[in-house]
């Protein structure tokens, strides 16, 4: 057994990444203690203010499979085969995500998934979860993790090494490393916020097509909706914080009703509690976090959102966090000490999380603006035709990110840029088909077979 595997590991934050990581480490026989700020989510109601459901895709599934938890996760998943685009006129059309039966993404409830993962972690006798324990930072000089018990308010310290911080986008561990000059952190806040609303079932049945991710793109902003297992949908409005068409103007029930009636008339009947929910539900912020380094010797490692929070428009934040956990688990086969392991993990992952951070920002423009564009739809069709014809060379970028965990995010971004240029050159225009022999020549010149 490696030296790493002989040790006790502290994980800060029993959210999605922390709980999955605990399962993976416990399966290796490590002794794991999770410290979680919230009460046990298996007993308490989930806290509001985070997305209620999420899109789970192949990278996340691959990590969940490695942890042996898919049997319990599968019943939580609802397949979404494509984007159902709702125009202002009320017309809607499905744009499939992929072109093979398995090329779908899944809506999954955050709270249910988190409960299952914590439950699975606790099936291992070598895992302990300490709820209501808030980490307030690390003290590298004293080699201490600082914690506070929520019930008594008592503060205490624990030996640091090794601590893996999966305490999310607002990570206290990251903040304390930055405050001590041990990490450089750049937070880029979007000037758009989000608010979640409920589309309840109608007579017990989903009010919208259940196997799709619904989008009402309006250029500059959008409403989306993902299905839940109780036949409801969670709708999310993404909108500028300020300006004439921003949250700041929606300052009362009448303004909210007017805005929805103008922009999303077909969604209004689906949102019977619009005004109350708009007033009560929090307005969430969105941003990208860039951190370097992610680790401090073999003592501390930042993972998941704590290291690299991203905007949600590619549906990849959780998937990337799960992929971090899988890669860490794989590295444990090869590395003997935490210092090397943490450094290797950052080396392997940071270029990839930087790539998905950028692609996620680009996808906001695609979702809210370009999905309605005739040229976008035409090039998407062309990309799928090229994938069918040259599957070893050409896979649409969206598919590489969502359905191909064997292709890294950085590789998907790099090939995606070459492909975008190629599609531009091959665009047949309205009403004509592509020149496939030219396509073949360009593809062979510029796109080596995937994996070579
Ligand atoms: C609106 C929205 C939609 C999203 N949609 C998607 C999607 O469709 N697909 C996708 O893949 N990703 C999506 N994401 C991103 C996804 O939510 C995150 O990437 C994912 O939750 C990261 O997991 P994590 O474990 O790193 O952090 P979290 O899930 O945030 O978990 C952090 C945990 O740490 C705990 N904690 C925090 N601070 C402390 C502390 N000081 N001490 C102790 N415990 C602490 C928290 O209570 C929590 O349990 C979305 C995000 C948002 C905001």
Task: Write the CA distances from 10 to 157, 201, 291, 320, integer angstroms.
Answer: 12, 42, 21, 21
Task: Write the CA distances from 438 to 102, 415, 426, 443, integer angstroms.
Answer: 30, 19, 8, 9
Phi, then psi, of 295 in degrees rounded to 5: -135, 160
Cβ of 41 below 6 Å from ligand 1: no
**Measured in angstroms, how far is the CA atom of residue 179 from the centroid of ligand 1?**
22
Residues 6+ apart with CB under 8 A from 406: 451
Position 4 scores a pLDDT of 54
**Measured in angstroms, how far is the CA atom of residue 41 from the centroid of ligand 1?**
14
Cβ of 318 below 6 Å from ligand 1: yes
Residues in the chain: 452
Position 1 scores a pLDDT of 37
Cβ of 194 below 6 Å from ligand 1: yes
| Tokens at 323, concatenated | 């992929």
Position 357 scores a pLDDT of 98
**Measured in angstroms, how far is the CA atom of residue 13 from the centroid of ligand 1?**
9
Cβ of 399 below 6 Å from ligand 1: no
Position 448 scores a pLDDT of 94
- Tens of pLDDT along the chain (452 residues)? 345 545 799 999 999 999 999 999 999 999 999 999 999 999 877 665 556 899 999 999 999 999 999 999 999 999 999 999 999 999 999 999 999 999 999 999 999 999 999 999 999 999 999 999 999 999 988 999 999 999 999 999 999 879 999 999 999 999 999 999 999 999 999 999 999 999 999 999 999 999 999 999 999 999 999 999 999 999 999 999 999 899 999 999 999 999 999 999 999 999 999 999 999 999 999 999 999 999 999 999 999 999 999 999 999 999 999 999 999 999 999 998 999 999 999 999 999 999 999 999 999 888 888 877 888 888 999 999 999 999 999 999 999 999 999 999 999 999 999 999 999 999 878 877 788 889 999 999 999 999 87
Cβ of 166 below 6 Å from ligand 1: yes
Pocket perturbation via mutation, ligand 1, pick of 33, 39, 167 by most ligand atoms within 8 A of CB = 167
Task: Write the CA distances from 415 to 377, 382, 386, 394, integer angstroms.
Answer: 20, 16, 14, 9
Position 370 scores a pLDDT of 80
3-state helix, strand, coil in the chain (%, to 5): 40, 25, 35
Position 2 scores a pLDDT of 43
Instruction: Give dist(CA 189, CA 182) in Å, integer.
Output: 22
Cβ of 340 below 6 Å from ligand 1: no
Task: Write the CA distances from 218 to 92, 271, 356, 366, integer angstroms.
Answer: 13, 18, 24, 11
Cβ of 305 below 6 Å from ligand 1: yes
Cβ of 319 below 6 Å from ligand 1: yes
Q: What is the value of pTM for the model shown?
A: 0.96
| Tokens at 310, concatenated | 């991203």
Cβ of 15 below 6 Å from ligand 1: yes
Cβ of 103 below 6 Å from ligand 1: no
> Do 174 and 301 form a contact (C-beta atoms < 8 A)?
no
Instruction: Give dist(CA 117, CA 123) in Å, integer.
Output: 10
Pocket perturbation via mutation, ligand 1, pick of 168, 224, 238 by most ligand atoms within 8 A of CB = 168
Q: What own/partner pairs with CB < 8 Å and gap ≥ 24 does 176-181 have?
A: 176/136, 176/137, 176/138, 176/139, 176/146, 177/138, 177/140, 177/296, 177/300, 177/302, 179/137, 180/140
For ligand 1, what atom is nearest to the CA of residue 135? 42
Cβ of 38 below 6 Å from ligand 1: yes
Position 3 scores a pLDDT of 53
Position 199 scores a pLDDT of 97
């Amino acid at each position: 057994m490696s030296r790493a595997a002989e040790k006790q590991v502290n994980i800060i934050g029993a959210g999605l990444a922390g709980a999955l990581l605990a399962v993976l480490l416990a399966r290796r026989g490590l002794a794991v203690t999770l410290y979680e700020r919230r009460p046990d989510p298996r007993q308490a109601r989930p806290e509001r203010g985070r997305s209620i459901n999420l899109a789970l895709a192949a990278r996340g599934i691959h990590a969940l499979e490695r942890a042996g938890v898919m049997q319990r996760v599968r019943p939580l998943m609802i397949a979404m085969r494509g984007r159902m685009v709702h125009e202002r006129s009320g017309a809607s059309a499905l744009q499939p995500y992929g072109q093979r039966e398995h090329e779908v993404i899944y809506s999954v409830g955050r709270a249910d998934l988190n409960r299952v993962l914590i439950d699975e972690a606790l099936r291992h006798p070598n895992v302990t979860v300490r709820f209501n324990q808030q980490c307030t930072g690390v003290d590298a000089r004293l080699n201490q993790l600082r914690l506070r018990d929520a019930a008594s308010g008592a503060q205490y310290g624990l030996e640091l090494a090794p601590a893996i911080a999966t305490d999310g986008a607002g990570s206290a561990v990251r903040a304390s490393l930055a405050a001590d000059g041990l990490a450089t952190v750049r937070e880029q806040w979007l000037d758009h916020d989000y608010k979640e609303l409920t589309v309840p079932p109608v007579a017990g049945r989903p009010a919208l097509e259940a196997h799709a991710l619904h989008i009402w793109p309006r250029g500059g902003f959008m409403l989306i909706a993902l299905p839940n297992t109780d036949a409801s949908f969670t709708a999310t409005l993404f909108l500028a914080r300020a300006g004439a068409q921003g949250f700041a103007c929606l300052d009362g029930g009448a303004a909210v009703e007017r805005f929805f009636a103008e922009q999303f008339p077909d969604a209004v009947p689906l949102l019977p509690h619009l005004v109350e929910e708009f007033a009560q539900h929090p307005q969430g912020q969105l941003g990208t976090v860039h951190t370097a380094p992610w680790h401090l010797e073999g003592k501390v490692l930042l993972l998941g959102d704590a290291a690299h929070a991203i905007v949600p428009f590619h549906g990849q934040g959780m998937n990337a966090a799960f992929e971090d956990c899988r890669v860490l688990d794989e590295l444990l086969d090869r590395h003997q000490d935490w210092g090397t392991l943490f450094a290797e993990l950052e080396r392997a992952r940071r270029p990839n999380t930087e790539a998905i951070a950028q692609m996620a920002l680009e996808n906001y423009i695609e979702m809210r603006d370009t999905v309605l564009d005739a040229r976008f739809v035409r090039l998407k069709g062309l990309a799928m035709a090229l994938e069918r014809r040259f599957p070893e060379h050409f896979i649409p970028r969206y598919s590489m990110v969502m359905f191909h965990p064997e292709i890294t995010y950085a590789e998907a971004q790099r090939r995606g840029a070459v492909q975008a240029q190629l599609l531009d050159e091959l665009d047949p225009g309205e009403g004509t088909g592509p020149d496939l022999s030219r396509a073949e020549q360009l593809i062979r010149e510029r796109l080596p077979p995937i994996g070579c």
